[in-house]
Structure 1
């Protein structure tokens, strides 16, 4: 069918929908998959490491379980900071990523090409490098109305981690929009919908189902990537673990403490991974 006249709607070539699920994150070739077997393996590792630590300390030394119980409140505060950083980074990155994603599908090449360039740069840049840039290039103090306000390290770490999230959300949105068949655009054009109303009323409601599984997968990856903040001195879980180990001064507790940290992250991310798989099956789009 050939349409006469001029329209402001773009002609979008649909992508293979299954390509949307292959979210590319630096260091990750496939979407994150957490299985129950992995959780069992981590639990076995934790129990075995505690037994080895007890054997090394002897009958006179305190057990690894007692040391972990003593330091759990401190580790819990660090883990809550990890979760706060992940939630805020995901929120900021999602908002900025949606704006950048809309820029990638804009009609104007002056908007589309710079948006694509920014997306590809932050999507492929190492997360740790971005984190270092934000930690040391952003000011440590700012002056507002004559008052000097210090910027905590976790705030700058949050912004640093939101940059790769922004780029990946932008690519998720672009892929979701371009996976919608062109017939949807043509039908909206026949009803005299403007491009803005076509996106808002027709395209985006269909994109949400396709975006949700990779978005949740990205959040799981981000949550585990928050441990990078320990390298720049943020008092998150790994930093608090190092302090506890330094206070205990028992080399045998190294593996029990870090396997304990792994269990915390697994317990938080595993339900998200299972829900992601459920949504992928439920919202699967078949060619």
Structure 2
């Protein structure tokens, strides 16, 4: 009998592949670092040598803060309104892209691609200058203010992107869902509303939230067409202070801070929902 101890052959250890959860992700400390950078960028201007007879930069900024906050709230109102309108129109357009009618399907696809690939600023000018200033219906005059036309202009690209989100979510579902529903004698409408769309909600929610965050940051484009939102009011405040160059960095840093505080939690929630609703293959 051979009593020798068997030799243990060395085995090369394979490095495991990184999981999707190991990718770089936004962390709360990333936001803190960005805030510190913004504040640090404004410190040199805030403490720059100024005329002793003039008010300090901080006092001027505090004086204009209520007006700037009011303008930022107006940005949020425009973003929510444009998102709601674009979502309703985009959902209908997305369903049109999967229609069995080839004419409806083709028209929905052309409309989606046109507005999806058009510059947002061009669409905004399109809505501002081609829409009438007022509508007359049965002798009743309905004014269309600039902010309302800006909302329509921003809703157009949102509509196209939501259309693609809806179409992509529906197409991503396994074909067995349709086949199983058809075997139970469900109509196409019943399959969509009772089986397909409820499953698509969790797939559509993260990209929809990301689109809203992008839309919120794009609302500053309304300042170019004269809408009194936060960027417009910031320019007016700087002009009222005599165009002091030392106020530029503090004022625009404050605007940047407002958008960051509003959009960063949305980005964090989007990442969390992506992990929660991840499709396991």
Query: How many angstroms apart in 2 are the aligned matches of 1:100 and 1:47?
Result: 46
Structure 2 unpaired stretches of 5+: 1-24
Kept in 2, the 8 Å contact 1:35–1:270? The answer is no
Instruction: Trace 1:119-134 onto structure 2 (pairs within 5 A).
Output: 119-134=112-127
**Segments of 4+ moved more than 6 angstroms:** 32-35
The reply to whether residue 238 of structure 1 matches residue 231 of structure 2 is yes
Task: For residue 95 of structure 1, give the secondary structure of its aligned residue in structure 2.
Answer: helix
Q: Name the residue aligned to 1:109.
A: 102
Q: How much does 1:50 deviate?
A: 3.9
Q: Name the residue aligned to 1:96.
A: 89
The reply to whether residue 151 of structure 1 matches residue 144 of structure 2 is yes
The reply to whether residue 204 of structure 1 matches residue 178 of structure 2 is no
Query: How many angstroms apart in 1 are the aligned matches of 2:159 and 2:140?
Result: 31
Please say which structure displays the higher CA radius of gyration. Answer: 2
Query: How many angstroms apart in 2 are the aligned matches of 1:67 and 1:115?
Result: 51
The reply to whether residue 269 of structure 1 matches residue 267 of structure 2 is no
Q: How much does 1:177 deviate?
A: 0.2
CA RMSD of aligned residues (A): 1.7
Kept in 1, the 8 Å contact 2:48–2:246? The answer is no
- 129, 141, 154: which one pairs with 2:134? 141
Query: How many angstroms apart in 2 are the aligned matches of 1:140 and 1:34?
Result: 46
Kept in 2, the 8 Å contact 1:216–1:272? The answer is yes
Relative to the length of structure 1, the TM-score reads 0.85
Kept in 2, the 8 Å contact 1:216–1:276? The answer is yes
More deviation, 61-70/181-190: 61-70
Q: Name the residue aligned to 2:252.
A: 258
Greater relative contact order (CA < 8 Å, ≥ 6 in sequence): 1
Kept in 1, the 8 Å contact 2:115–2:160? The answer is yes
Q: Name the residue aligned to 1:180.
A: 173
Q: How much does 1:147 deviate?
A: 4.0
Q: How much does 1:213 deviate?
A: 0.1
Kept in 1, the 8 Å contact 2:90–2:163? The answer is yes
The reply to whether residue 223 of structure 1 matches residue 216 of structure 2 is yes
Q: How much does 1:37 deviate?
A: 2.2
Q: How much does 1:53 deviate?
A: 3.4
More deviation, 141-150/127-136: 141-150
Q: How much does 1:146 deviate?
A: 2.6
Query: How many angstroms apart in 2 are the aligned matches of 1:145 and 1:108?
Result: 36
Query: How many angstroms apart in 2 are the aligned matches of 1:117 and 1:135?
Result: 23
More deviation, 205-214/57-66: 57-66
Query: How many angstroms apart in 1 are the aligned matches of 2:51 and 2:32?
Result: 29
